[in-house]
Structure 1
Amino acid sequence: MQDKLVLVVEDEGSIRDMVKFALERASFRVSSAGNAADARMSLADERPDLILMDWMMPGVSGIELARELKNNATTRDIPLIMLTARAEEEDKVRGLNIGCDDYVSKPFSFPELIARINAVLRRAMPGGEEERLSAGGLEVDHASQRVSANGEPIRLGPTEYRLLHFFISHPERVYTREQVLDRVWGQNIYVEERTVDVHIRRLRKALQPYGFDNMIQTVRGTGYRFSEKF
């Protein structure tokens, strides 16, 4: 899990600093925010791999911000762990029902917190980081970042590889160009939407000799979809 970025949203500075210290010792990168407004700014600056959110915050509460993020197409799939002193089962169910991935009650131990973060990140990885993703005879080996078609290797540029990995990880879902930009290039990178079309064409060209270019489908007026159904 090295180099994964965790956004810590906690209004108590002492707790925020301790959590940050523990995460950095566990080889995570950490960004932090003391309230919902700062959290939104941090999310706009760099997309985290996971959000660790305190439930009780002044102004916009953690549960309200979590609901906002889970209702936003560009942030809904970021794993989110609620960190709170509210230990009642009803509160846990409420948090999980809005899309939180886990719930850690205060007081907690840092080894437990790190273990829960690692578990959520593993679950969030499509197919597991060491596993292969396949569709028909098209296969993406995430560990080695190799792509093959019916056993024959396909050479892709780094951006085309990221595009293919993203699409094969999320089949049968339509994504706008803006969503593809956010997920593949990142929110902190300014790239024009037509750049997506350029790299889609390159990816299709690489897949065309093997008959898999039709898996990257244009949805008129919306964006793109990956599907084995032609």
Structure 2
Amino acid sequence: MSSDNAAPMKPLVLICSQDPEFYLTYGHILEADVFTKELADGVEDALKLAVEREPKAVVLDCQPASATGSTIFAQLKGDPRTGGVLVIALIAPGAENQHFDLLKAGIDDSFVRPIAPAKLLDCLRTKLALAKPGSNGIANGRLLRCGSLEMNVDARRVRGNGHDIHLGPVQYKLLQHLLETPGKVFTRKELKDAAWDERIHVGERTIDVHISRIRRELERTSAGSVIRTIRSEGYSLEEAHAEPEPDGK
């Protein structure tokens, strides 16, 4: 059977908590929307699942008597394989001091609980460039195209061959930079400057990992575009061309 009619994969969110009630509550909120969820109950488990399952976002449970949330965040952001994943901290009453520590450490977003479910979902959709429920995914705005790959910059939505492409914040910035000038070869330094704050140290391996993940999404959706590696120089986004058929075919 053709995969064209297959339902699109739901973005995976990793919930990092040792509190079953927290996991059940926020897991239900996520699955009632457009997401699916998975539990990580410790630092090692969180890093292992983040590498193996490649979630689009991580929700951290930060409790007053525990530094687990901050430790998981440091591990995720310090590993080049997971450094680009969106991380949101939900801070329990009494643990407000963690709010400022996480902000200084570069957390993508953090909220002191209780938080309205709609606020968390809006944050996830906005930062992951997802369309809001009930919309048809079409919005006016500046469009960038290469092959059948299309990015609506204002709506922060990416589609390949008619299928949604879900990217983390860093990967979205990298792809946008490549899409601004298809065919241009960008050095790793140029891509680093486009996607990361200048105060953050990022090695070449980290950039390669994120480019590899974007490539997988382009291949998964047959987006009609490819990211080519130009040895000793960098990367270029180009329209994919079908290989010519052998003579006699």
Q: TM-score range by the shorter chain?
A: 0.5 to 0.7
Q: Which amino acid aligns with 2:73?
A: A
Listed as ranges, the gaps of 5+ residues in structure 2 are: 1-7, 131-138, 152-157, 162-173, 181-185, 193-203, 218-224, 238-249
Q: TM-score, normalised by structure 2?
A: 0.56
Instruction: Tell me if the contact between 1:83 and 1:103 (Cα under 8 Å) persists in the aligned partners.
Output: yes
- 2:143 paired residue number: 132
Pick the aligned partner of 1:225 from 235, 242, 249.
Answer: 235
Secondary structure of the 1:219 match is coil
Pick the aligned partner of 1:48 from 55, 70, 84.
Answer: 55
Residue range with higher mean Cα deviation, 79-88 or 99-108: 79-88
Instruction: Tell me if the contact between 1:217 and 1:225 (Cα under 8 Å) persists in the aligned partners.
Output: yes
Residues 1-230 of structure 1: matches in 2 within 5 Å?
3-56=10-63, 61-86=68-93, 91-122=98-129, 131-133=142-144, 140-142=149-151, 143-145=158-160, 165=175, 168=178, 172-173=190-191, 175-176=204-205, 180-185=211-216, 216-219=229-232, 224-226=234-236
Take 2:75 and 2:9, find their aligned partners in 1: how far apart are those partners? 28
Take 1:203 and 1:67, find their aligned partners in 2: how far apart are those partners? 30
Change (3 A) 1:226 1:58: farther
Listed as ranges, the gaps of 5+ residues in structure 1 are: 147-163, 187-199, 205-215
| 1:138 shift after superposition | 9.4
| 1:13 shift after superposition | 0.5
- 2:199 paired residue number: none
Secondary structure of the 2:89 match is strand
Secondary structure of the 2:10 match is coil
Take 1:182 and 1:138, find their aligned partners in 2: how far apart are those partners? 19
Instruction: Tell me if the contact between 2:64 and 2:95 (Cα under 8 Å) persists in the aligned partners.
Output: no
Secondary structure of the 1:53 match is strand
Q: TM-score, normalised by structure 1?
A: 0.60
